[in-house]
Amino acid sequence: MNLSGGIFWHGRAWRSQAAWHQTCTEIATALAGCEHASSELLLIGASAGWMMSSNWLQGFAKVDTWDIDPLAAPLFRWRHGAALKASDCALTCHRSDAFANLEQLLQDRPNACIFFDNVLGQYRFHCADPDQASENIAHLVRRLRGREWGSLHEVYSGPVERPRGQHRLPAMQRRVQGTSDSAALDQHWFEELGATGEWLDHLTSSVFPEATLVHHIAWPFKPDTCHWLQLGWVRH
């Protein structure tokens, strides 16, 4: 059973819409600033698009989604289909493993942009060896050179302790840079989240090329657990 998808994921997402509202709003705001040249979008790991912005999707003439979950396509159409139809955006949902067929997808759609929707941070759970998972993610990013693409993914996740009465979650945006200043900002971010205990590394901290503007978004996955999300867009 895969807890990163399937009926348990959809049930949690449906019940958590109020708790995740701020996160989804910040994702929508970040996506609104992701200007794209292509009118065609390949949405990888779309699931039901629980945290995706219909407004952003409406900026494309054609959207193709990929997910291995049999519930993903009907739920995605239920959530976003009417909005896309209203804007004359052609939506096609595919049930298949886009990672296994990515090379062919890229060759077949040379002008399309690609967005990995909350999927790269889950990749380590689908690969027995973390080192191999990290290497595969790095290879994927190298393969995307010269393409227009973006990603929303977890970087870290772990337990939190929130001061009583604290409701507003921290948000930040900055450009990728490998400096001591970045490390200090990361530490400050953990403190703002109220991080405690041991956090899981999702192996995605180096996904975006240097100088990419990245949005850092807190996701209160459960009352005592938070995920640190990154969202960025790469144009070449």
Asked if residue 172 belongs to a domain, the reply is yes
23 belongs to a structural domain: yes
**Tally of structural domains, the chain:** 1
Specify the pairing of strand 62-67 against strand 40-44: parallel
CB atoms within 10 A of CB 91: 20
Tokens 């999702």 sit at which residue? 202
Q: Residue 229: which domain range?
A: 6-234
Per the domain annotation, does 1 fall within a domain? no
Q: What is the CATH number of the domain that holds 39?
A: 3.40.50
How many residues would you count in the chain?
236
Mean pLDDT of 219-235: 92
Mean pLDDT of 78-89: 97
Q: Does 23 score more than 70 pLDDT?
A: yes
Instruction: State yes or no: pLDDT of 227 exceeds 80.
Output: yes
Asked, for residue 90, whether it belongs to a domain, the answer is yes
pLDDT greater than 60 at residue 2: no
Q: Determine the pLDDT at residue 128.
A: 82
Query: In sequence order, what are the residues at sequence separation of 6 or more whose Cβ sits closer than 8 angstroms to the Cβ of residue 64?
Result: 40, 41, 42, 43, 91, 92, 93, 94, 109, 112
Residue 39 is assigned to a structural domain of this protein: yes
Q: Is the pLDDT of residue 1 over 50?
A: no
The answer to whether 206 and 134 are in contact (CB under 8 A) is no
DSSP labels, 45-62: T-TT-TT--HHHHTT-SE
Apex CA 112: angle with CA 135 and CA 205, to 5°? 30
Portion of the chain with pLDDT greater than 90, in percent: 67
**Residue 75 in domain:** yes
Decide which of 1 and 148 is more confident.
148
